[in-house]
Homo-oligomer: A and B are copies of this chain.
């Protein structure tokens, strides 16, 4: 059934709900198994949307768009990588997870080269291990918007992506999970302060979501709520304190995040 599932805070309480129009209807039960609607409804404007699931892990597929290969080589200081023959999964930090309208915080010791990467994100619905690509769609609950925020200097200098792509607040996701959508034909746009800076379609993914999920599941048990990013396209530019970054996937919604500088107690 076509449905938008949100996780939200109202007062001090966090709940799951179903979005209808400009309201969210609180549910009882589990979004992964069975739930029912309650009588509690809240205007979306009066709740704070949270990351729409509580993942144990956030996964990215490595290079997954042909038009990102040359740029990735430049960032990493290597020649343009060949088209990969399989996904190259890596773990983004759960500490970096942040919700719609929450700030992306530029670390005070960043070189300033913190870039957006607008992506589509699959949310796992059931435990899965050693499933095939054909089986994978049954294990995916739905899709949301994500931003694989990346500090390009650290990405090139460090041995791993631990801080380049794993610093606190570097994984905005939301606003909610759309459960019934053609994930391999999604338009995706990124805007900075209303100006479009990225425009792509998930039909250009080198490996589809079912292929990535299947690949990871050969050695890792994926859990309900785990998130799998699509990978990034093209070239990107820096975001700066004061900017607002939007990742829009028509049919899902808009993930919007302000950009802030980390508070620096030693700043003049």
Residues of A within 8 A of B (CB): 56-57, 62, 88-91, 93-96, 107, 109, 129, 158-160, 162-163, 166-168, 216, 218-223
Tell me which residues across on chain B come within 8 A of A166, comparing CB atoms: 91, 219-220
Give the residues in chain B near A167, CB-CB below 8 Å: 219-220
Q: Is the Cβ of A218 less than 8 Å from the Cβ of B162?
A: no
The count of identical subunits is 2
Q: Which residue of B lies closest to A169 (CB)?
A: B221
Establish whether residues B93 and A168, one from each chain, have CB atoms under 8 Å apart when the complex forms. no
Main secondary structure of the interface of A (DSSP, over half): loop
What are 30 A-B residue pairs whose CB atoms fall within 8 Å in the complex?
Answer: A56-B94, A56-B95, A57-B95, A62-B159, A62-B160, A88-B159, A89-B160, A89-B162, A89-B163, A90-B159, A90-B160, A90-B162, A91-B91, A91-B162, A93-B220, A95-B220, A95-B222, A95-B223, A107-B218, A109-B218, A160-B160, A162-B216, A162-B219, A162-B220, A163-B218, A163-B219, A166-B219, A166-B220, A167-B219, A168-B220
Q: How far is the CA of A163 from the CA of B215 in the complex (A)?
A: 11
A159 neighbours in B (Cβ, 8 Å) = 62, 88, 90
CB-CB under 8 A for A168 and B88, given A95-B57, A95-B220: no
Residues of B close to A158: CB separation below 8 A: 88
The answer for the CA separation of A211 and B148 in the assembled complex, in Å, is: 28
Q: How far is the CB of A175 from chain B (nearest CB, A)?
A: 23
Tell me the bound Cα distance from A54 to B70 in angstroms.
40
Chain B residues with CB below 8 A from A162, complex form: 88-91, 216, 219-220
A160 / chain B contacts, CB cutoff of 8 Å: 62, 88-90, 160
Instruction: Please give 12 more A-B residue pairs, beta carbons under 8 A apart, in addition to A91-B162, A96-B220, A167-B219.
Output: A62-B160, A88-B158, A88-B160, A89-B162, A91-B166, A95-B220, A95-B223, A162-B219, A163-B218, A163-B220, A167-B220, A168-B219
For the complex, what is the distance from the CA of A90 to the CA of B90, rounded to whole Å?
A: 10
With most chain B CB atoms within 10 A of its CB, the pick from A95, A158, A168, A221 is A95
